Amino acid sequence: MPIALITGITGQDGSYLAEFLLDRGYTVHGLVRRTSTLERSRLQHLYSNPAIYGKTLHLHYGDLEQPINFMRILQRVNPSEIYHLAGQSHVGLSFEMAETTTDSVAMGTLRLLEIIREHPSPVRFFHATSSEIFGRPTLSPQDENTPLSPVNPYGAAKGFATQMVRIYREKFGLYLANGILYNHESPRRGENFVTRKICRTAAAIKLGQASELRLGDTSAQRDWGDARDYVRGMWMILQQPVADDFVLATGILHSVQDILELAFQEVGLDWRAHVRKDDRLMRGPESTTLVGNPEKARRMGWVPSTQFPELIRWMVKAELDSLSRAPRTEDPA
């Protein structure tokens, strides 16, 4: 029975990955920060299932600021695969919290690499890195060989961690892989990311629970996919015979305005009547033309299953459903 250890298991990707691995017969161990509340979290349905929790799913308190604690968990669990998903992941916030972001994203990853280097049993390590390492690339689409040129603290921290994974792989011959992930979304996305924010607010306006939606740059473009496809890709990356880096992306650019059009169309409203531009939400400097070339991932058999319009419609429907049951009480930032 394979054993996996996931850092960041309470996040969007961690929760989908846990489900995916449990379905494949894995025993899953997750690292949970002491501050995380499991009730009403993305893991609640697994955590509250006595056939799963404590049997094939185990949670351990810990964080990457305390390497000794992680080392103990690693020794006790002795996983065959580690999925490293933890870290501050909001690009806009990384300008306000540059040190916290760097510590969790860059140093957190380096601490894990140092521990794995000393770990006596072989273990496969997946690092969830980001298209933000490319910042403002001179070439589009980007692939695994595109030079790093981040333009925000989050991208710079991810760039460092990505490069350290490559360096430790080469120097120590360890099984360490980077998944270079472009934006991937779902109803489990945090509310302050643009897809979820738009889908949730469009649904709230439709239900009379909000009147307007404040946004930054609506002309910004990204390569948006379905989070469930990306966690499948993470697993596939660790099944390759030789550790390597893979871009996971759809290869298609859309704008924030495209999300607005689709989301408001889904609730039968005109977005122009409800959206206000808010200069405080303008990012500047903004990453540009981040669109991935998933050719190498396709060669290992990874194909994204969901098209962009279908993704946005799914997210809006989920918000209509959840807001009808529990009305919205606060504004996403």
Question: What whole-number distance in Å separates Cα of residue 166 and Cα of residue 244?
Answer: 9
The residues near 21 (Cβ < 8 Å, ≥ 6 apart) are 2, 4, 28, 235
Dihedrals phi, psi of 28, to nearest 5 degrees: -115, 130
| Bridge partners of residue 28, in order along the sequence | 4, 57
Contact present, 191 and 256 (Cβ < 8 Å):
no
- Provide the minimum distance between the beta carbon of 50 and ligand F7E in the complex, in angstroms, as a whole number: 33
Question: What whole-number distance in Å separates Cα of residue 112 and Cα of residue 105?
Answer: 11
Among 58, 60, 136, 283, binds ligand F7E (CB under 6 A): 283
Whichever of 67 and 135 has its CB closer to ligand F7E, that residue is: 135
Assess 286 for contact with ligand F7E (CB under 6 A).
Answer: yes
Assess 262 for contact with ligand F7E (CB under 6 A).
Answer: no
Report 10-69 residues binding ligand F7E (CB under 6 A): none
The one-letter code for the residue type at 303 is V
Cα Rg, the chain, nearest whole Å:
20
Contact present, 146 and 97 (Cβ < 8 Å):
no
Active-site option among 130, 131, 186, 287:
130
Q: How far is CA 232 from CA 7, 229, 290, in A?
A: 16, 5, 22
Active-site option among 83, 154, 168, 230:
154
Going residue by residue from 62 to 91, which x/- string records binding to ligand F7E, judged by CB under 6 A? ---------------------------x-x
Active-site option among 81, 83, 89, 132:
132
Question: What whole-number distance in Å separates Cα of residue 297 and Cα of residue 134?
Answer: 18
User: Judged by CB under 6 A, which stretch of 20-28, 191-199, 240-248, 261-269 contacts ligand F7E?
Assistant: 191-199
| Bridge partners of residue 30, in order along the sequence | 6, 59
Which residue's structure tokens are 């349905």?
Answer: 45
Assess 197 for contact with ligand F7E (CB under 6 A).
Answer: yes
Assess 194 for contact with ligand F7E (CB under 6 A).
Answer: yes
Active site residue 26: no
Active site residue 230: no
Active site residue 154: yes
Which residue's structure tokens are 């997946």?
Answer: 126
Assess 178 for contact with ligand F7E (CB under 6 A).
Answer: no
Question: What whole-number distance in Å separates Cα of residue 257 and Cα of residue 260?
Answer: 5
Among 113, 215, 238, 291, binds ligand F7E (CB under 6 A): 215
Assess 161 for contact with ligand F7E (CB under 6 A).
Answer: no
Among 192, 240, 305, 307, binds ligand F7E (CB under 6 A): 192
User: Judged by CB under 6 A, which stretch of 104-112, 124-132, 139-147, 159-167 contacts ligand F7E?
Assistant: 124-132
Question: What whole-number distance in Å separates Cα of residue 32 and Cα of residue 47?
Answer: 12
| Bridge partners of residue 31, in order along the sequence | 7, 60
Assess 132 for contact with ligand F7E (CB under 6 A).
Answer: yes
Question: What whole-number distance in Å separates Cα of residue 233 and Cα of residue 100?
Answer: 28
Question: What whole-number distance in Å separates Cα of residue 147 and Cα of residue 139?
Answer: 9
Going residue by residue from 232 to 261, which x/- string records binding to ligand F7E, judged by CB under 6 A? ------------------------x-----
Based on DSSP, count helices (H) and strands (E) in the chain, helices before strands: 12, 13
Assess 148 for contact with ligand F7E (CB under 6 A).
Answer: no
Whichever of 77 and 93 has its CB closer to ligand F7E, that residue is: 93
Assess 222 for contact with ligand F7E (CB under 6 A).
Answer: yes
- Provide the minimum distance between the beta carbon of 111 and ligand F7E in the complex, in angstroms, as a whole number: 20
Among 15, 130, 162, 186, binds ligand F7E (CB under 6 A): 130
- Provide the minimum distance between the beta carbon of 232 and ligand F7E in the complex, in angstroms, as a whole number: 17
Q: Using omega within 30 degrees of 0 as the cis cutoff, is the peptide bond preceding 285 cis?
A: yes
Catalytic residue set: 130, 132, 154
Interaction site with ligand F7E (CB under 6 A): 89, 91-92, 130-132, 182-183, 192-194, 197, 215-217, 220, 222, 256, 281, 283, 286
